[in-house]
Structure 1
């Protein structure tokens, strides 16, 4: 390793008010889950929806399941949230003593979709003309009011969890507002290198022509940081900009890009090596390639070598576009 005072200055902890995370270079994270559950219940419980002689109210937030977090990477705020919400409601028409009860289900409130596009299903218990009118009211008017509350949740999440994530630089005691940017996903890649595709063809099964893809790239980060970027679900979500399923253990499954890429972890050596079985959805059924990441930390950077064997020859170009270390932005 480099001697004290040498190497990339971003790796050196300088004098500063907090003495940590110099220039906001490293990934920091806050768990926003418990706060989010309380905030969603506060915003939705007892929500009154009244218009033209129709009175409805959310009587209970029956279920709030999911997670949320706020992250700082190089001075950029990255928010993740995914919630499955179920509400109970009741309502009646003016002049009627009958009370109609029902439910509203919000299966996927997440950063992937704008709040105005969030799916919401309205159901009722019972039948009859009044019940159908109230269901239509909740479907047309009630959903808009609930979306307003969900939009307020997202706004307050970002406001509350921006505090303390962006740290002042050396010589500063506060953070200037214009130094903060809020995004939903993305990393900043440092060095691009063209892939080298071996000319050696292989055949498996029914004479399927395959090739090997090899990549080598240098990143301005620690080896452990790169390893986390490939195995920590929040960071993989930011890279892929989509929903991620991942079990980070030997034999654990993963699904990326909406299920278009699936596979299994074959070997995991923190900060040093990742081996995966990996396939693209359009490949021949049950055919997997084998991807090996070799991670080597140098004095002031980390060298990552990727080797992907058994890629169908006809899919090399498409596969190369999805290879993690050849993406536009990472780490």
Structure 2
């Protein structure tokens, strides 16, 4: 399917504005126009972390299904898990359009969407309707742009979705909400993690169901900031990290158009940067804290490279724009074949094999 999409489907979709094309893809999944993919069910790909059993390590990253419209359709494409959002308590329109830009020569995208979403209540209703469906669906939570208390917005997300989320992602790393990344500073992070995890533990005591919480950080942090985040994370019962969000860097781009647009860059060019940050954080937090690696994954080779650099699970999004809806199943099939070829009984055996090699590298400018 990936090859067919690249030869026909991509040409059609790329005649539309990127945001319009995204909306069309959501509608296609909702209506069943995109068929399910017969995904590889290989026990060697199963991963168990943070109290969850993943059928395979490949997930759909947040940002695609912002409003929880198609999580089950995504799982049917072969993903081992799907993450919806980012969700803010109140609906907000985000930044002015146009706000998504393709960098075709780089297989990349720049976006400055700004947490556009329909708010907690709309997503809550949709997730409630699939409450008894199988499959791991994470909820990515954020803060409204004009919020008077951003930490309270994250706490509200925990309280609203604790019965529906398989896990939570606390997103403080989008570059498109002014001041949001300031929450990565140590004092701010201390307050945020303290209140979010306290709320998680309160609702867990009431409901009897404890949800794991991951923290999603940026790929543009210097070593000193990584030190501070790792130190603060070690003081809280956080369940994992997601590394990383989009980058503000424009290093090494080939595209002639759109490279000067403001916003976060995602796709193939971010692979090296995000993988270096991943390995550096793995060294800092040690072997026990789960990490989800994101950034530039477009094949089994790049997915396995992330795992070897310290990730337990991986996520993609931008590469599906360029490769089509069959990409997840293709990657899973190729990962399974790679494990068989190399005599690896479980994907977890590969984790951390290349951490030192990646961590010693300098983060690109």
TM norm structure 1: 0.26
Q: Highest relative contact order (Cα 8 Å, sep 6+), 1 or 2? A: 2
Identify the structure with the greater strand proportion.
1
- Structure (1 or 2) with the greater helix fraction: 2
TM-score (norm 2): 0.24
